[in-house]
Structure 1
Amino acid sequence: MDDRLERFLRIKLREAGKKYAEARESADRQIGEAKDAYKNAHDVTLADLPQDERGRAKIVCRRYAERRAVTLDAEGRPACFDPEHPDCEGCVEDIRERTVETW
């Protein structure tokens, strides 16, 4: 192979490798930022919901269709949460999506 062609190919391959590494670093950073944004969007605190005078969240229970003032645990679940009941699971999803019915 001609020395000039070999040198040209080596330079072009090195440039392509650098561009690939830059693109990979950028993609990894963007994926990390998207994961952080998703996590932050789904972290619900009591401050995100209306509260009564005692600082409890004022929600409408999906299971019993009644107004309730409840505390939330660290995972954003109300104190009355039953992990085996589909209405309770739906309520937690609504709280996380900030679409829960409140009063």
Structure 2
Amino acid sequence: MDDRLERVIRQQLRKAGKQFEEAKRAYTEAKADPEGNGENARRYGLATDDEGRARIVCRRHAERRAVAVDDEGRPTCFEDGHPDCEGCAEDVRDGVAESW
């Protein structure tokens, strides 16, 4: 296969993967906070953006994120069983999650 064609195919696959993850995250956020009012984020004392999403610093990926928080104090990016995610959810529930 031509190197340029292979590169184009890889770029398009990456782009499709990013779009899929973005859609998946949006769906999860809407499911966690269907009203979109950020009530859960404020209940746990987290800083919020204009759309009511909690502004937290992700432990796992060390990046700023604006995410919805569910009734159990888990950000929408939470992955069950991952130690960083478990610690982040505990911090959210305790009201000490790092925010920006």
TM more than 0.5: yes
- With the shorter chain as reference, the TM-score category is 0.5 to 0.7
How many pairs align?
60
Residues 66-97 of structure 1, C-alpha deviations (whole Å, 9 max, x = no match): 00000011111000000121000000011111
* TM-score of the superposed pair, with normalisation by structure 2: 0.57
Gaps in structure 1 of 5+ consecutive residues: 1-43
* TM-score of the superposed pair, with normalisation by structure 1: 0.55
C-alpha separation in 2, matches of 1:54 and 1:82: 23
Gaps in structure 2 of 5+ consecutive residues: 1-38
Q: Which residue of 2 aligns with 1:79?
A: 76
Q: Which residue of 1 aligns with 2:62?
A: 65
Matches for 1:10-89 after TM superposition, within 5 Å = 45-47=40-42, 48-89=45-86
Higher helix content, 1 or 2: 1
Query: Aligned-residue CA RMSD in angstroms?
Result: 1.4
Q: Which has the larger radius of gyration?
A: 1
Counting aligned pairs with the same residue, the percent is: 58
